[in-house]
Amino acid sequence: MGETLKVAHARSLRDGDAASDYPRMAERALIGAVAAALLTALARRYGTLDESGQWGAFACGVAASIAGWPWALLLVAYFAAATGVTRFRADKKAEQTLGTNPQVAPRTAPQVLANGGLFCVLAVQAGPNVASVWGLAAVGALAAASADTWATEIGTLWGGQPRSIATWRPTLPGMSGGVTWVGTLAALAGATLVALAAAWLHQIEPTQPFVIAIIVGGFAGSTVDSFLGGTVQTRRWCEHCRAWTERRVHPCSYRTVHTHGYRWFSNDVVNAAATVAGAAATIGAARLLR
């Protein structure tokens, strides 16, 4: 009897008995805050984040640390890969998208949280239970953000002429809603990277349906991103620069004209919606594969 109780207690500890885990959570919050402060300061110094983006990423990093070290390391792996793929031949990509994205700016807090916010909230919910619904949703949300970044960056570089996912008509490189075959493969790669990293960090066999569900879910999320980006996302025109933008007032200080989509449906709203879609699709795929 005593033996059974001991085993049950050990199991509840391992599975994250909330009350007994508080001291460890506080410890992780402290160490995570130090690590997140250092990493986000570095990212800001190299122009990846602006001041608000640094705070957003810091908050997300502390939340992921509280959730558990595998979650924090998964966030770092995603961020490092996304930064790397964004920086890779940035000058050539800027040339390709001239007129749609005139400059690559440091990421702001809304941009950071649109991509990583849902992941952090769900990871805290999941705690050590990565195979739970919350855990699957968390990894799926991050896989969608990763897939979208990879598709955009690699697709712009090597994809050639994009077509609108909604109308299949040719569109300008860098324009939301445009897709290419290279970008589609890159989306799969971005989702696969998160799926394999999650499996490795959480010590789950990479052959488990878990991994396939995340790849499918992340890819579905990035497809939703392209579709919303090409249909309902706001688009404005600067007559002075003859360029598409989301800003009401262009960096050239010219007032822009609203031409497409809903005014409030910014790229950040699209990205946040894509992570929700990625989370939901991952749960759905996991149910089907079980």
Q: E strand or H helix at 126, and its extent?
A: helix 109-126
What is the secondary structure of 210-237 as a DSSP string?
HHHHHHHHHHHHHHHHHHHHHHTS-EEE
Instruction: Kindly write out the interface string for residues 239-268 of this chain, putting x where it contacts Zn ion by CB under 5 A and - elsewhere.
Output: -xx--------x-x-x--------------
CA pair distance 146, 131, nearest whole angstrom: 20
Give the residue with the Cβ less far from Zn ion, 192 or 245: 245
Give the residue with the Cβ less far from Zn ion, 235 or 250: 250
Give the residue with the Cβ less far from Zn ion, 11 or 240: 240
Question: How many residues belong to the site for Zn ion (CB under 5 A)?
Answer: 6
Q: Are strands 178-179 and 163-164 parallel, antiparallel or unpaired?
A: antiparallel
CA pair distance 11, 194, nearest whole angstrom: 28
Contact between 64 and 120 under an 8 Å Cβ cutoff? The reply is yes
Least Cβ distance, residue 235 to Zn ion (angstroms): 14
Give the residue with the Cβ less far from Zn ion, 231 or 256: 256
Least Cβ distance, residue 100 to Zn ion (angstroms): 12
Query: Residues 180 to 219: which contact Zn ion by CB under 5 A?
Result: none
Instruction: Kindly write out the interface string for residues 223-242 of this chain, putting x where it contacts Zn ion by CB under 5 A and - elsewhere.
Output: ---------------x-xx-
Q: Where are the beta strands (DSSP E) in the chain?
A: 163-164, 178-179, 235-238, 243-245, 257-260
Which residues face 116 on adjacent strands?
A: none
Q: Is 11 in the site for Zn ion (CB under 5 A)?
A: no
Query: Residues 13 to 72: which contact Zn ion by CB under 5 A?
Result: none
Chain-centre distance for alpha carbon 33: 21
Least Cβ distance, residue 248 to Zn ion (angstroms): 12
Give the residue with the Cβ less far from Zn ion, 90 or 252: 252
Residues forming contacts to Zn ion in the complex (CB under 5 A) are: 238, 240-241, 250, 252, 254
